[in-house]
A and B are shown apart, each in its own frame.
Chain A
Amino acid sequence: MADTKAAEMKVKVVTEPSLMTGAVPTHDWWDVEAIFKPGNYCYPAKKSIAEYHGKNLPGLFGEPRDWDIESDDWALPENWKEIIINGIKERLDKFRSLKIFMDCCVRCGACADKCHFFLGTGDPKNMPVLRAELFRSVYRNDFTTAGKILGQIAGARPMTFKVLKEWFMYFYQCTECRRCSVFCPYGIDTAEVTMMGRELLHLVGVNTNWILEPAANSNRTGNHLGLQPHTFKENAEFLLDDIEEATGVKLNNLTFNRKGAEVLFIIPSADVFADPGIFTFMGYIMLFEHIGLDYTISTYSSEGGNFGLFTNNQLMKKLNGKMYAEAKRLGVKWILGGECGHMWRVVHQYMNTMNGPADFLEIPKSPITGTVFENAAATRMVHISEFTADLIHQGKLKIDKNRNDNRIVTFHDSCNTSRGMGLLEEPRYIINSVCNNFYEMPENTIREKTFCCGSGTGLNTGEIMDLRMRAGLPRANAVKYVAERHGVNMLANVCAIDRATLLALNQYWNPEVQVCGISELVGNALIMEGEKERETDLRGEPLPGMEG
């Protein structure tokens, strides 16, 4: 893979001729071919992985095979065009959103410079409007009167291999972040278009391994990482030692698959696996110890995230189904969810519809404060930030804010929790309650206008590192702004993918800024019962005043 050094990239993004830097494309967009070369595409799924999904959900993942993206023979089924066109028809009948978004765009261009992929690459087809036109042109050709009669004048074109290649390239240069949808006068959501596009690509077996393999793992072992039950448990328990080292307190509240617990707690699995998610995990369980919450973690449903969301609605449903199935089996009262972005898109906007009703659960009620979470009355799953903000507001936590004084914090709103849920103030309330130094990034880059980390929807794979660093540039640039002005050295967030991808992004663009989950900051500030004099934070770094 061809990774460009940051210094070189810094110059390239400003000087390279692109629509962002002022160069005007010389060819009409439909005459520009998608050319795959190492570094600009994700590797296709291994045959065995495609087979696995095909067996579980027949017909949805095409013909398993080995194929080469750079070749002009993708070993597609003979009737692949028919499969795609029939697939479009089926989806038009199933999703009103698709019909509306195909018919209503006026190409006003308001979305054009809102996409992080466009801002970082200047590639015209990364303007949301053109990304959707890749799909719309085919829709017009086969499903509209004007397109059938007028053809290209009406912006119609038939489905060809060339179009398929464009679809694969640009539906995997979209992270379904929905930022364009905020600015669109009709709310046209490119995420919907990309989702449909990816569903269709899967029908003819065009896929990426970095999405399908974690999804297969999640189905079988319970989590994307493929951690088997005993390994998952060991990983989590290992972190108890780290907590003890930092605080002197040995927690014994960590249980797995325990029936009769009040709350089932589901996290993105990366939180027990990789730095810096593990510090977030420590924060979660320290909080639960602090308040004496009766909770358990499941190894069977050990993944909050859902890579099915990045494939098709059926696999999303199948993977998500474990949450309710396990809550029912364990007989818990309600579910609490950790810090994860796309997990919350699925939980908030899809779960109850797909796998509900959750009538075997109770309406979530905090056993510590008595607060009833009416906003989760049907789905019966509460976000850890909602839960924690309530605890803080009711004065149930003993907090020493000064312990986070070495952190000058800014907050990155995850796309999914901000634009697919509206979780904006809860994390900020928590940060302000446990930290003394908090600075917002510029207004156009936060809350509902937040920029994607650049690697969501299963794009956080090493083989497209350059693309990821470009797509993440708008986010990194806003971080840089507060780093330079206020000395920000910690980028907090509520998303496991962010914790992985922003780390890489900052190492590239802003090496001085670290990344953390909100609950890590909570864990640092919590005054635990029986704790020793705290000298280090959860990372083992000296607390302010303890550097000597």
Chain B
Amino acid sequence: MRVLKAFIAVVALVLVALVVAQVPGGQSLLGIVLPYLAFAIFLGGFIYKVVYWAKSPVPFRIPTTCGQENSLPFIKQNKLDCPTTKGQVVGRMLLEVLLFRSLFRNTRASIHDGPTLAYGSNKWLWLFALLFHYSFLVIILRHMRLFTDPIAGFVPMLEFADGFLEVGATTIYQSSFILLAAVTFLFLRRVVRPYLRYISLPADYFPLLLIFGIGLSGILMRHVFRVDIVSVKELTMGLVTFSPSIEGQIGAIFFVHIFLVCVLLAYFPFSKLMHLGGVFMSPTRNMANNSRMVRHENPWNDPNIKPHSYASYEDEFRQFMVDADLPVEKQPEPATAEPEAEEAAPTEEPKA
């Protein structure tokens, strides 16, 4: 049901694009107005969200330590999994962001007669997540061909590396197909694995299907329903130079593609896709484990919260303490002192 909702949403978006592209002025809407709007929402929304996060302080230093701390000289610190300096934190974050370090640890648990719990190696999610993100990145960078004139120097190199297979006159870019394969894997595991199906929301299927739609429309546009690439480039260059216009017949599939991209951009800041920004700001990963070395300040630390004072403790137990030869600050007086404001806890028998 949840997957169906997401599927219907994506199909509906494709249909909308196909219909609007036929309506007078529709192509300008899809090709010019919406890209500006979507990009503005993406940029504004992204910044808004990051600022929203940053406005809250990090009151406590709470890194998750995943290795040996820095303590005695003869004990080797694990500098990447338990960093104490800024440089080491950068190292930890690079591993996390570029290589998905934490996901690499993944295991799969199972229970057997005995009972016996077993933890098997499980790196598929890590592998396909990496493939997904890197192929997406390569594809975005390849698209810079459309937004730079003359074409940025890295693009041809990237295209060369990405497109070693040639079919006829059209280069096949591996990244496009790896992206589709990875998205398919990420989608199927959600559908097939019972616990993943159980935790998945429409908001988990939707971006996967949307990205699949973007990838597929891109491939179709390149290899099946060829679009007029010259007109596309004129449009995209027009967009970046703020003088956009649509000349000639580009082809409907292009408008499906660009519309889905616009939806993705506009959807991004309001969705879980913001993990792109969040991963950099997660306090359990981006803080040094040096809280005993350097004092961490909490801006809202309340100085009025004070411990139950020693004086009131002694006032309550002074006679017992004297009888037990425990040192006291004040000797007991015949008249009992006024108890302090804080009330004594109800006396309860201690329990184990």
- Please determine whether chains A and B interact with each other in the same assembly: yes
Q: How many A-B residue pairs have CB under 8 A?
A: 363
Q: Which of B65, B297, B352 contacts A420 (CB 8 A)?
A: B65
| A347 (CB) vs chain B CBs: closest residue | B292
Q: A449 CA to B274 CA in the complex, in Å?
A: 28
Query: With A110-B106, A219-B345, A321-B305 in contact, do A100 and B283 touch (Cβ < 8 Å)?
Result: yes
Q: Is the CB of A353 within 8 A of B5?
A: no
Q: A381 CA to B295 CA in the complex, in Å?
A: 13
Q: Is the CB of A103 within 8 A of B272?
A: yes
Q: A130 CA to B201 CA in the complex, in Å?
A: 11
Q: Is the CB of B75 within 8 A of A429?
A: yes
Which residues of chain B have C-beta atoms less than 8 A from A448's C-beta? 64-67, 81
Q: Is the CB of B282 within 8 A of A187?
A: yes
Q: Which of B100, B272, B305, B326 contacts A317 (CB 8 A)?
A: B305
Q: Is the CB of B68 within 8 A of A13?
A: no
| B201 (CB) vs chain A CBs: closest residue | A155
Cβ of A467 to closest chain B Cβ, rounded Å: 16
A266 sits at the interface (CB 8 A):
no
Query: With A187-B102, A325-B307 in contact, do A424 and B69 touch (Cβ < 8 Å)?
Result: yes
Q: A423 CA to B78 CA in the complex, in Å?
A: 11
Which residues of chain A have C-beta atoms less than 8 A from B129's C-beta? 108, 185
Q: Is the CB of A220 within 8 A of B316?
A: yes
A127 sits at the interface (CB 8 A):
yes
Interface residues of B in 39-98 (CB under 8 A from A): 49, 52-62, 64-72, 74-76, 78, 81-82, 84, 96
Q: Is the CB of A349 within 8 A of B291?
A: yes
A254 sits at the interface (CB 8 A):
no
| B277 (CB) vs chain A CBs: closest residue | A104
B333 sits at the interface (CB 8 A):
no
B170 sits at the interface (CB 8 A):
no
Interface residues of A in 158-209 (CB under 8 A from B): 178, 181-189, 192
| A215 (CB) vs chain B CBs: closest residue | B345
Contact flags A363-375 to B (C-beta < 8 A → 1, else 0): 0000000010111
Q: Which of A21, A110, A313, A389 contacts B103 (CB 8 A)?
A: A110
Q: Is the CB of A104 within 8 A of B278?
A: yes
Interface residues of A in 226-270 (CB under 8 A from B): 226-230, 233-234, 256-259
A105 sits at the interface (CB 8 A):
yes
A386 sits at the interface (CB 8 A):
yes
A288 sits at the interface (CB 8 A):
no
Q: A484 CA to B284 CA in the complex, in Å?
A: 37
Query: With A107-B272, A228-B320, A354-B301 in contact, do A371 and B72 touch (Cβ < 8 Å)?
Result: yes
Contact flags A298-325 to B (C-beta < 8 A → 1, else 0): 0110000000000001100111111001
Cβ of A33 to closest chain B Cβ, rounded Å: 16
Q: Which of B53, B102, B200, B294 contacts A183 (CB 8 A)?
A: B102
Q: Chain B CB within 10 Å — which of A19, A93, A107, A426 has the most?
A: A107
State how many residues of chain B have any CB contact under 8 Å with chain A: 112
Which residues of chain A have C-beta atoms less than 8 A from B140's C-beta? none
Which residues of chain B have C-beta atoms less than 8 A from A56's C-beta? 308, 342
Contact flags A440-463 to B (C-beta < 8 A → 1, else 0): 001011011100000000000000
Query: With A52-B346, A99-B56 in contact, do A425 and B195 touch (Cβ < 8 Å)?
Result: no
Which residues of chain A have C-beta atoms less than 8 A from B125's C-beta? 108-110
Q: Is the CB of B295 within 8 A of A145?
A: no
Which residues of chain A have C-beta atoms less than 8 A from B196's C-beta? 107, 109, 112
Q: Is the CB of A421 within 8 A of B345?
A: no
Q: A20 CA to B109 CA in the complex, in Å?
A: 9
Interface residues of B in 109-163 (CB under 8 A from A): 109, 111-117, 119, 125, 129
Give the dominant DSSP class at A's interface.
Answer: helix
Cβ of A42 to closest chain B Cβ, rounded Å: 14
Cβ of B173 to closest chain A Cβ, rounded Å: 26
A74 sits at the interface (CB 8 A):
no
A360 sits at the interface (CB 8 A):
no
Q: Chain A CB within 10 Å — which of B52, B114, B119, B300 has the most?
A: B119
Cβ of A116 to closest chain B Cβ, rounded Å: 10
Which residues of chain A have C-beta atoms less than 8 A from B71's C-beta? 373, 375, 386, 423, 426
A390 sits at the interface (CB 8 A):
yes
Q: A501 CA to B5 CA in the complex, in Å?
A: 47
Q: Which of A97, A225, A352, A389 contacts B72 (CB 8 A)?
A: A389
B330 sits at the interface (CB 8 A):
no
Which residues of chain B have C-beta atoms less than 8 A from A219's C-beta? 307-308, 345
Q: Which of B109, B194, B197, B293 contacts A377 (CB 8 A)?
A: B293
Cβ of A388 to closest chain B Cβ, rounded Å: 11
Which residues of chain B have C-beta atoms less than 8 A from A226's C-beta? 345, 347-350
A153 sits at the interface (CB 8 A):
yes
Query: With A155-B203, A424-B67 in contact, do A186 and B279 touch (Cβ < 8 Å)?
Result: yes
B242 sits at the interface (CB 8 A):
no
Q: Is the CB of A393 within 8 A of B305?
A: no
Q: A119 CA to B68 CA in the complex, in Å?
A: 26
Q: Chain A CB within 10 Å — which of B49, B60, B61, B282 has the most?
A: B282
B324 sits at the interface (CB 8 A):
yes
Q: A375 CA to B202 CA in the complex, in Å?
A: 47
Q: Is the CB of A186 within 8 A of B275?
A: yes
A401 sits at the interface (CB 8 A):
no
Q: A360 CA to B298 CA in the complex, in Å?
A: 20
| A358 (CB) vs chain B CBs: closest residue | B295
A418 sits at the interface (CB 8 A):
yes
Q: Is the CB of B202 within 8 A of A378?
A: no
B199 sits at the interface (CB 8 A):
yes
Q: Is the CB of B69 within 8 A of A229?
A: no
Q: Is the CB of A274 within 8 A of B352?
A: yes
Interface residues of A in 90-138 (CB under 8 A from B): 92-101, 103-110, 112-114, 119, 124, 127, 129-130, 133
Cβ of B283 to closest chain A Cβ, rounded Å: 5
Given contacts A112-B199, A185-B275, A376-B293, 9 further A-B contacts (CB under 8 A): A19-B194, A52-B343, A155-B203, A220-B313, A322-B307, A352-B292, A426-B72, A473-B117, A477-B116
A-B contact pairs, 25 of them (CB 8 A): A19-B194, A52-B346, A93-B56, A96-B53, A96-B281, A99-B53, A99-B56, A104-B272, A104-B279, A106-B204, A107-B272, A108-B103, A124-B195, A145-B270, A154-B203, A183-B106, A192-B284, A220-B345, A227-B350, A317-B302, A379-B295, A422-B82, A424-B67, A425-B75, A478-B117
Nearest 8 CB-CB pairings of A with B: A422-B69, A321-B307, A104-B278, A230-B324, A422-B65, A187-B284, A187-B285, A220-B345
